[in-house]
Amino acid sequence: MVNKDLQHQATIVKSSFPLFKLGTSNISFRYLGHIVSDTLCDNEDIQREIKNTFIRTNMLIRKFNRCSFFVKCKLFRSYCLSLYDIALWRNYTMTSFNKFRSCYNKCIKSFLDTVVVIV
C-alpha cells in the first residue's frame, strides 16, 4: 500500500523543473506503455492489458480459426502471453486482478474451442 504522506510529496521533475505534483489531481499518463497514475495504483494498467488481450484474441480467432490445436497453442502463447509489464504491478486491487484472470480464461477457452476438424 502507498503511504499517504509520501504520496502527496512526490513531484515529477524534468531538467530540474517541476512538471506536476502527484496526488494533487487525478493525473495518469503513459510511460513506455505502462500507465502511471497519481495514486500509484496499477488498476488502470490492468484494465488496459485486459482490453489488449481481448483484442489480440479476437484477431487470432478471426484469422486462424481453422488451424490445428497445436498451432493455436503456439499462436496464443506468442500473441497473447507477451505480458512484459505485469512485473511492474505492485499496488492493485484483487478485483482488478481477478478480472484479468477471468479475461485470460475466457480468451483461451474461446480461442481453443473454435477448432475446426477438416477431414
Instruction: With cut-offs at 50, 70 and 90, classify the pLDDT of residue 107.
Output: very high
Instruction: Give the count of beta carbons closer than 10 Å to the beta carbon of residue 110.
Output: 14
Confidence (pLDDT) at 25 = 60
Backbone angles phi, psi at 34, to 5 degrees: -105, 135
pLDDT surpassing 60 at residue 21: no
Convert the pLDDT of each residue in 36-86 to its tens digit: 777 777 888 899 899 999 999 999 999 998 888 899 999 999 988 877 777
Q: Which residue has the higher pLDDT, 111 or 82?
A: 111
Confidence (pLDDT) at 7 = 47
Confidence (pLDDT) at 37 = 75
pLDDT surpassing 90 at residue 3: no
> By percentage, how much of the chain surpasses pLDDT 70?
71
